[in-house]
């Protein structure tokens, strides 16, 4: 790889490090080509990326990005699994895959600039997806408003019933 190719690779990795929301570095030694090919295809379906990185280039590319915390973790054969979307989905997929494939070892993860060890990634994997969390927050915010509407509607309903009872008592035909 000549100097121009290295610089181009560093720039493309740098852009990727800037845009990605989460990543996992894993040791993939022991996986045969067939398993890696299937893993890549499964990841593509989930809109998750997979790259085998050259460590020195990755270290240079992550400098100055939120993924800089990974710079010392690029040691040995490393596969970087990353997402531009929901990091929880990435954590779920990788943890499930690591359970099925014992030769795929999770080394470390990074979510929005925060370094996560494999145990923390497992905790992240148990969280509900972003959309569910947002729905829960909105539901919580909506509950007091819904309660207020019910109280006001109940007051109006009671007032109308009182008016109906008064009209009935005076001999009207309210029903």
What Å distances lie between residue 84 and 22, 49, 96, 151, 175, CA to CA?
7, 9, 19, 44, 62
Domain range enclosing 58: 3-127
Same domain, 143 and 122: no
Q: What burial letters (b/e) apply to 80-90, b meaning 16+ CB within 10 Å? A: bbbbeebbbbb
Predicted local confidence at residue 93, as pLDDT? 93
Predicted local confidence at residue 21, as pLDDT? 92
Predicted local confidence at residue 3, as pLDDT? 87
Same domain, 31 and 95: yes
pLDDT tens column, 1-22: 788 888 888 888 889 999 999 9
Same domain, 14 and 36: yes
88 CB contacts (<8 Å, ≥6 apart)?
124, 125, 127, 128, 129, 130
Say how far apart CA 12 and CA 88 lie, in whole Å: 24
Same domain, 102 and 165: no
Same domain, 10 and 91: yes
Predicted local confidence at residue 172, as pLDDT? 59
State the virtual CA torsion across 67, 73, 74, 80 in degrees, nearest 10. -60
Instruction: Output 131 or 75, whichever has higher pLDDT.
Output: 75
pLDDT tens column, 81-103: 999 988 989 999 999 999 999 88
- Rounded mean pLDDT, 18-34: 91
Same domain, 16 and 54: yes
Say how far apart CA 14 and CA 154 lie, in whole Å: 60
Predicted local confidence at residue 37, as pLDDT? 92
Q: Read off the CATH number of the domain in which 39 is found.
A: 3.30.70.1730
Predicted local confidence at residue 2, as pLDDT? 84
């Amino acid at each position: 790889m000549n100097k121009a190719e290295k610089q181009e690779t560093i720039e493309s990795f740098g852009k990727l490090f800037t845009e990605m929301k989460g990543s996992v570095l894993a040791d993939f030694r022991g996986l045969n080509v067939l398993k890696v090919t299937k893993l890549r295809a499964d990841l593509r379906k989930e809109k998750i990326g997979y790259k085998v990185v050259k460590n020195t280039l990755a270290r240079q590319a992550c400098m100055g990005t939120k993924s800089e915390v990974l710079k010392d973790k690029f040691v040995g054969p490393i596969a970087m699994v990353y997402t531009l979307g929901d990091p929880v989905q990435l954590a779920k997929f990788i943890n499930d895959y690591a359970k099925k494939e014992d030769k795929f070892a999770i080394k470390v993860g990074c979510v929005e600039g925060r370094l996560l060890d494999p145990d923390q990634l497992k905790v992240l994997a148990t969280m509900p997806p972003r959309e569910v969390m947002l729905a829960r927050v909105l539901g919580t915010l909506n509950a007091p408003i819904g309660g207020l509407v019910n109280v006001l509607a109940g007051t109006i309903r009671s007032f109308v019933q009182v008016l109906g009872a008064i009209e009935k008592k005076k001999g009207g035909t309210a029903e």
